[in-house]
Amino acid sequence: MQVSTRFVGEALLSAGDLSLADRLTALLVDRTGGRFRQALVLVSRGDVLARLGRLEEARRCYAEAIAIAEEIGSRSTLAVAWLGQAELAAAQGLEPVGLERAAALCAELGLRHYRPRLDRLRAAGGDAAAGSSDA
C-alpha cells in the first residue's frame, strides 16, 4: 500500500475527479511516513496541483520530491518528478528543464508508461537531446 499511494492521485486524475484528488493528496502529504513514500506522494500532489493550475505549489512539490529522491537514490521517483517539473515549465512557456534527465531515466528504467507525456513535451518543442532518448 505504501508504494501504491503514488498512483492514487494519478488514477483520480485519469478518472477526472480533481476535487477528490486534491483532497486526498493533500491528506497524504500531511501524514508521516518514510522519505520514499513522502517523495512519491509529493509527485502525486504536484501532478494534482499542476492540473488545478496551482503551478507554484506544484513546482515546490516536485522540487521537494526531487531533493528527497536524489538523497535516497530513488531513480524512478526522480524521473517522474523531473517530468512533472518539465511539464510545468512548458505550461508556462519556459524551457522544460529536466526533460532530458527524465527521458534518460525513463529509458534506462523501462518506464514506458510515461512515453505519452514525454512525447507531448517533445512535440511542443522540448529538449532536442531528449528526442534521442528511447523512453
Structural domain contains residue 90: yes
Domain of residue 90 covers 5-95
Q: Is the pLDDT assigned to residue 1 strictly greater than 50?
A: no
User: Residue 64's domain is classified under what CATH number?
Assistant: 1.25.40.10
∠ CA 81-110-108, nearest 5°, is 75
Q: Is the pLDDT assigned to residue 116 strictly greater than 90?
A: yes
Structural domain contains residue 85: yes
Structural domain contains residue 9: yes
Per-residue model confidence (pLDDT) at position 32: 63
Domain count, the chain: 1
pLDDT interval class at 131 (50, 70, 90): very low
Name the amino acid, one letter, at 42: L
Question: How far is Cα 82 from Cα 15, in angstroms, rounded to an integer?
Answer: 23
pLDDT interval class at 4 (50, 70, 90): low
Structural domain contains residue 39: yes
Give 32 or 63, the one with higher predicted confidence.
Answer: 63
pTM score of the predicted model: 0.82
Instruction: Report the SS3 class of residue 88.
Output: helix
Structural domain contains residue 101: no
**C-alpha 11 chain-centroid distance:** 14
For the chain, give the mean pLDDT: 85
Q: Note whether 42 and 65 are within 8 A (CB).
A: yes
Structural domain contains residue 121: no
Mean pLDDT value across residues 8-34: 79
Q: Note whether 50 and 65 are within 8 A (CB).
A: no
